[in-house]
Amino acid sequence: AQKVTQAQTEISVVEKEDVTLDCVYETRDTTYYLFWYKQPPSGELVFLIRRNSFDEQNEISGRYSWNFQKSTSSFNFTITASQVVDSAVYFCALSQPKSLADQGAQKLVFGQGTRLTINP
């Protein structure tokens, strides 16, 4: 079965610190996709990044970076020089196998989320 574990329920750091959010996944698929979403206090879910299982290159986008390691089934997210606006709940998600009836959709399994608080 597909499973995503975000072991850190809550993290609190002081502004400008670097912080890493962990994500460990389980799947028997050889082809899959991993995602990170951000849910700020206003409640919406914002897509951050998608990574496919064949691309293990790390990705950097401004202060955000992602480290994908298939050997450890992890897809960790690091925020460098954190800011108060980064405070949110962050979700890691894994695509489920597509059914025989529908090869297009990505059914997502979400982790429980990590609540990140950046204190001024």
Partner 1 sequence: DAGVIQSPRHEVTEMGQEVTLRCKPISGHDYLFWYRQTMMRGLELLIYFNNNVPIDDSGMPEDRFSAKMPNASFSTLKIQPSEPRDSAVYFCASSFGTVNQPQHFGDGTRLSIL
Q: Which residues are at the interface with partner 1 (CB under 8 A)?
A: 33, 35, 37, 42-47, 50, 52, 91, 98-99, 101-108, 110-113
The alpha carbon torsion through 79, 85, 89, 91 (nearest 10 deg) reads -50
Backbone conformation region of residue 79, classed left if phi is above 0, alpha if psi is from -120 to 50, else beta:
beta
For residue 56, the minimal CB distance to partner 1 (Å) is: 16
Q: Closer to partner 1 by CB, 54 or 120: give it.
A: 54
Rounded to a whole number of angstroms, the minimum distance from the CB of residue 4 to partner 1 is 10
9: left (phi over 0), alpha (psi -120 to 50) or beta: alpha
| Cβ 71 to partner 1 shortest distance, Å | 23
Cα–chain-centroid distance for residue 107? 15
CB nearer to partner 1: pick between 71 and 99 = 99
Residue 84 or 105 having the CB closest to partner 1: 105
